[in-house]
Chains A and B, each alone.
Chain A
Amino acid sequence: MKFIQKFFENTKPYVQKGAKYQWLHSVHDGVFTLFFVQKNTSKSGSHIHDYIDLKRTMGLVVLALVPALLMGMYNTGFQHFVAVGELSGVGFMEIFLYGFLRVLPVIMVSYIVGLGIEFIFAQYRGHEIQEGFLVSGMLIPMIMPINTPLWMVAISTAFAVVFVKEVFGGTGMNIWNPALVARAFLFFAYPSQMSGDSVWVSLGGKQAIDGFSGATPMAEAAAGHPNIDVWNSFIGLIPGSIGETSTLAILIGAAILIITGIGSWKIMLSTFAGGAVMGLILNSFAGSNAYMALPFWEHFIIGGFAFGAVFMATDPVSGSQTERGKWIYGFLIGILAILIRVVNPAYPEGMMLAILLMNTFAPLVDHYVVEGSIKKRLKRVKVNA
């Protein structure tokens, strides 16, 4: 450890402003702070500071994503072998390894492109490299269909990092969730490649067996004939985006976020509550429409509802920031997600749009909560006067 520290300490003078390698400053600082918490001490204000920092916070979110990621890898392999009809001949490790090798490049592309842009912007602006992309870079691959071409992943990541994050000033300043915008960008820019039944299952060059459709439960439901295998949907053995299929793994992630206090349980709970309420409302108008008659809890285990509620809606930067606002914000996400899903057949999945829409309105929700606080204060003056 000592020699790594020595190396970074000794090379530090060369990357300072005006020195020979100053263009490496942000990279040097980024890697150094990753390995070592710096020796900076408090110069003013409070003398002690909590041990928590943004690296740990973001690191824990990534940790919470790992169960869903691993299940996603396994499911990628599983769907592949089902599609090509070879499931009976392969073992657990083989299934997982196939998925691992298919998913890994997507993750690498996302991180390399995203972090590359982060480094350039940090250097250009003279900032430290900020940790936000550690999470975004993991979220992006997890909400992509497995057959998304890598160049599309690269373009959407670049679009999201530059136009959703950096132009607003970097981590903590963005209005929308960057990962979701990356997904939305692909959805609207390459609609033909990003929908249909062929993008969800990796065939790996082989021929699918007869009768295999590859359609997600979402697509089937949107087509008017919901056919949900509850157990497989909960475990995550259904076609879908890489990380979103396993409700079980997502719940483990949710537990990590809630126990560590990093994700807002208020947003998670109110999102599910909103989804349940909208599901019940639709039920009562269902008539002969099978999708509207779908029990609300079946909505939670298909598509990206659970993943969005746990990992996307809870983004503290793009979500509501007041405690009362969080309840409203989450609840409306749930309502809108189910409404868009069922009522608008053009978008099989409503979660992405619901969250982006509420990201847009979160400042408005907060505005009214803040106004409420201001009014209370003014009222107090009047009472006293």
Chain B
Amino acid sequence: MSKHFKLKRGLDIRLKGGAEAVLGSVSQIRTVALKPTDFPGLTPKLKVKADMQVKAGDALFFDKYHPDILFSSPVSGTVKAINRGERRKILEIVVESDGKMESLVFSKADPSSLSREQVKTQLLQSGLWPFLKQRPYGILAKTADVPKNIFISCFDSAPLAPDYSFIMKGQEKMLQTGINALAKLTDGKVFLGLPDGNAGFFGQLKNVETNIFSGPHPSGVVGIQIHQVSPINKGEIVWTINLPDVLFIGRLFETGKIDMSKIIALTGSEVDAPKYYPTIHGACLEGLLANKTKKDVNERFISGNVLTGTLVEHDDFLGFFDHQLTVIPEGDKYEFMGWADPGFNKFTASKTFISKLFPKKSYVLDANLHGGERAFVLSGQYEKYLPMDILPVYLLKAILANDIDKMEQLGIYEIVEEDLALCEYACTSKVKVQDIVRQGLDLMMKELG
């Protein structure tokens, strides 16, 4: 019997440009890339050179400090370029697809009949291991650990988020196989967070423990769900994985091949007809975005959602964990006396604009900060958007003061950036909440290993 958690705190930001439940078509994906920068704290070491031939599943690079963690190519083809940034930091490894999708062959097996070591080896060798994230710290799962539990959220509550049951339609079997594989990795359980109401085939999955979460965003954020079900204490480790990524694991065990095709939602107010498109893990955005945006204003492209996504260029690549692309106006323009505007058209979390009295169905929001950065002034603001038993401002101040004891006492192990993203949106003082959280997590890792 699953428990129902009714979350009150949070906010659904009603943005224009939600994806219609229709699958569009795009021209074939030419290039894909992996970006080591998608993994905080990772030091990549290359396994390939430019112009080398690779198959899907061939490792492109590995983790310098955990050499068994490989990151493999999603397609077969040629390594086209290794793009570096400042101080020769590796930014992306670009692979040009030959269109054949040839994959390395792995063993085909029912994970339920395999041992933990066998499942682990298969995941590591195929390069699917990096989809597993560890909490605390929100980093790559370590191969030596056995997590207390594995948590998966079955819905994404972020603004304009893709509908998981749509992008995974008809793949129940693969999903179940993937979950069976994950169940092997933990001594505890695989916890699923289901949405309230129609959970579709996610409700029928076996080998899992389910909980139901209702309420506004961030009810679908896995960190919030963990906190409700079984909060992380010092010394404990749990793993998380995005539900759609479990499909890759399922396919690996079902077919013995790497198949990283996926469906993403193209969303946002600047997209002409927001809908879903089939693509490949790490695909180049150029083909995806071609002729699909309005181009009325300066556009901002985001791999992911507006709260936690990564700022990208139109010829950049899809992020490792992203199933959504968002295009919103950049908003790099002055606004005369904007702070004094009654605000009929301004969606707000506060109650200081008229739009609160006459709510519309959806709003266009741009990337402007709408004000200067200040010290913390107002109180009680963040708590409204964080359904956790945590005092966010005190935790953030502890981080800013580099006070490790206080950070630990106030619950740093329970959070990663995305849990507090909504606080950053709503903040009057424009505090960079997610940057501060990452700074704190990095410090904890450095000091405590």
**Chain A: residues with CB nearer than 8 A to chain B?**
1, 4-5, 33, 35-57, 59-60, 128, 130-132, 169-173, 259-262, 264, 316-317, 319-323, 326, 369-370, 373-374, 376-378, 380-381, 384
The verdict on A46 contacting B350 (CB below 8 Å), with A41-B300, A323-B380, A376-B389 known, is no
Which chain B residue has the least Cβ–Cβ distance from A376? B389
Asked if B336 and A171 make an inter-chain contact with CB atoms under 8 angstroms apart, the answer reads no
CB distance from B364 to the nearest CB of A (A): 10
Supply 22 A–B pairs (Cβ within 8 Å), ascending by A.
Answer: A1-B336, A38-B369, A39-B334, A40-B368, A41-B330, A43-B311, A45-B432, A47-B306, A49-B427, A51-B343, A52-B370, A53-B372, A54-B429, A57-B428, A59-B340, A130-B375, A131-B374, A171-B375, A259-B351, A260-B351, A260-B352, A377-B411
> Among the listed stretches B206-214, B259-267, B281-289, B418-426, which one makes contact with chain A, having 4 or more residues with CB under 8 Å of it?
B418-426
* Interface residue B307 (Cβ < 8 Å from any Cβ of A): yes
Interface of A is mostly: loop
Question: Which single member of A47, A131, A264, A374 contacts B311 (CB below 8 Å)?
Answer: A47
Which chain B residue has the least Cβ–Cβ distance from A370? B394
* Interface residue B433 (Cβ < 8 Å from any Cβ of A): yes
Which chain A residue has the least Cβ–Cβ distance from B309? A47
Chain A residue numbers with a CB within 8 Å of B427 are 49-50
Chain B residue numbers with a CB within 8 Å of A37 are 334-335, 337-339, 368, 370-371
CB distance from B345 to the nearest CB of A (A): 10
Question: Which single member of B234, B309, B352, B376 contacts A262 (CB below 8 Å)?
Answer: B352
The verdict on A50 contacting B426 (CB below 8 Å), with A37-B335, A57-B352, A171-B375 known, is yes
Within 8 A of A (CB), among B298-351: 300, 302, 306-309, 311, 326, 328, 330-340, 343, 346-351
**Chain B: residues with CB nearer than 8 A to chain A?**
13, 159, 231, 233-234, 300, 302, 306-309, 311, 326, 328, 330-340, 343, 346-353, 365-380, 383, 389-391, 393-394, 409-411, 417, 421, 424-430, 432-435
Chain A residue numbers with a CB within 8 Å of B332 are 39-41
Asked if A48 and B367 make an inter-chain contact with CB atoms under 8 angstroms apart, the answer reads yes
Chain A residue numbers with a CB within 8 Å of B411 are 377
Chain B residue numbers with a CB within 8 Å of A171 are 374-375, 377
Question: Which single member of B306, B339, B374 contacts A130 (CB below 8 Å)?
Answer: B374
Of the listed residues B374, B409, B426, the one surrounded by the most CB atoms of chain A closer than 10 A to its CB is: B374
Asked if B378 and A49 make an inter-chain contact with CB atoms under 8 angstroms apart, the answer reads no
Question: Which single member of B338, B375, B379, B430 contacts A49 (CB below 8 Å)?
Answer: B430
Of the listed residues A38, A41, A261, the one surrounded by the most CB atoms of chain B closer than 10 A to its CB is: A41
Chain B residue numbers with a CB within 8 Å of A377 are 233, 409-411
Interface of B is mostly: loop
The verdict on A172 contacting B334 (CB below 8 Å), with A45-B432, A50-B350, A50-B428 known, is no
Chain B residue numbers with a CB within 8 Å of A172 are 374-377, 429
CB distance from A141 to the nearest CB of B (A): 22
Of the listed residues A1, A40, A260, the one surrounded by the most CB atoms of chain B closer than 10 A to its CB is: A40
Chain B residue numbers with a CB within 8 Å of A378 are 409
Of the listed residues A59, A128, A131, A374, the one surrounded by the most CB atoms of chain B closer than 10 A to its CB is: A374
Question: Which single member of B300, B370, B378 contacts A316 (CB below 8 Å)?
Answer: B378
CB distance from B72 to the nearest CB of A (A): 29
Of the listed residues B338, B352, B410, the one surrounded by the most CB atoms of chain A closer than 10 A to its CB is: B352
Chain B residue numbers with a CB within 8 Å of A374 are 409-410
CB distance from A132 to the nearest CB of B (A): 8
Chain B residue numbers with a CB within 8 Å of A53 are 339, 370-372, 428, 430
The verdict on A264 contacting B380 (CB below 8 Å), with A37-B334, A47-B328, A53-B339 known, is yes
Which chain B residue has the least Cβ–Cβ distance from A382? B233
Asked if B306 and A48 make an inter-chain contact with CB atoms under 8 angstroms apart, the answer reads yes
Chain A residue numbers with a CB within 8 Å of B378 are 57, 262, 316
Which chain A residue has the least Cβ–Cβ distance from B377? A172
Asked if B335 and A60 make an inter-chain contact with CB atoms under 8 angstroms apart, the answer reads no
Which chain B residue has the least Cβ–Cβ distance from A9? B334
Asked if B368 and A49 make an inter-chain contact with CB atoms under 8 angstroms apart, the answer reads yes
Complex Cα distance, B391 from A322, in Å, reads: 8
Which chain A residue has the least Cβ–Cβ distance from B343? A51
Chain A residue numbers with a CB within 8 Å of B426 are 50
Complex Cα distance, B335 from A4, in Å, reads: 12
The verdict on A44 contacting B434 (CB below 8 Å), with A37-B368, A259-B351, A260-B351 known, is yes
Complex Cα distance, B398 from A374, in Å, reads: 13
Complex Cα distance, B25 from A107, in Å, reads: 66
Which chain B residue has the least Cβ–Cβ distance from A373? B391
Asked if A261 and B351 make an inter-chain contact with CB atoms under 8 angstroms apart, the answer reads yes
CB distance from B370 to the nearest CB of A (A): 5
